[in-house]
Amino acid sequence: MADAPDPPAETSPPGRGEFKVQTYGPATRALAVALRLAALLNVLYVAAHIATDIVTGSRTAPPLAVALGITLFSGGPLLLALLLGRIHRGKVKIEAHTLALTLRRERFEIPFDSIQAIRPWRVPLPGSGLRLVLGSNRSFQRRLVLRDPARLLSALGEHLPAARATLDHPALRFAEARRTHGRRSLLYLVVKYGLIPLALAIVLFRLHQYIMYGGPFGQYHLFGLGPYLGAFLMRWVGVLGALVVYAGLVRIVVEVVALGATYLLPLRAKGLRRAAEILTDIAYFVLIPVYVLVHLLA
């Protein structure tokens, strides 16, 4: 769940005048936000149990329970939220005099003259969104969610002064900086959630074998291959679950701090995002090995 991608509401290449979006009504957005908050609260709940075990030596968060808890009660809500976003996908096209929104079974054409203002969401949940304010201060029934709303607004700015006036909003600078500097490659994720947990699990499992059975294959010689591989699997699951929880906590803190800092210093949004991502990597790739090494040498 950590470093999970934004909803797949990406813009089309510039110049086409057509943009892929997700559309939410107020109730649908509330559901999407609730699902994400449920996933985050579960991370905090599991993290509290892990921290208690570290401090007190108790066993309130065994490895299998952590893995199942994160998979079911964080991964499950996030998956539902992503599916909800896919169901509400659509396309926005800038035409000569209208903004056309095409959904699976509906099509809306909004005249530029009827759009009085465009209001970005202050908090980008479930993504970076826009609210169209029409005449009589009414809101258009669908909210538009894009990975980078600034591209749509830049294109709209040729027809709509309200779009140009919105481009400097801190929420849009935050979204642009996150799109530019916050995306991670598949290789990065494989290393972070594949190789690093596996390497730590091998080190800890080998140490446990020496302590409990007098050698790296002691359990195998005494009880056979099945129990030996089962013990390693449990060790790996425990390490992976703990690292996912830790990465989730770090990501929550980073996003909250980065969003708040961008509102205070909107012109430095990209620099703040770069700093946030560097601190995230330090917290994971440096502090975790240091923590393990210190405890092994203690």
pLDDT in tens, 23-53: 999 999 999 999 999 999 999 999 999 999 8
pLDDT digits (tens, 9 = 90+) for 77-126: 999 999 999 999 999 999 988 999 999 889 999 999 999 999 999 999 99
pLDDT digits (tens, 9 = 90+) for 227-278: 999 999 999 998 999 999 999 999 999 999 999 999 999 999 999 999 999 9
Confidence of residue 184 (pLDDT cuts 50, 70, 90): confident
Write down the pLDDT at residue 298: 65
Write down the pLDDT at residue 17: 75
Its CATH architecture, for the domain 1-167, is: Roll (2.30)
Q: Pick the most confident of 36-40, 51-55, 66-70, 145-149.
A: 36-40
CA distance readout (Å), 174 to 182, 184, 191, 199, 265? 10, 17, 27, 35, 10
Confidence of residue 8 (pLDDT cuts 50, 70, 90): very low
Confidence of residue 11 (pLDDT cuts 50, 70, 90): very low
Write down the pLDDT at residue 35: 97
pTM: 0.85
Residues of the chain with CATH 2.30.29.30: 1-167
HSE-CB of 153 using CA atoms within 13 angstroms: 30
Eight-class DSSP state of 132:
E
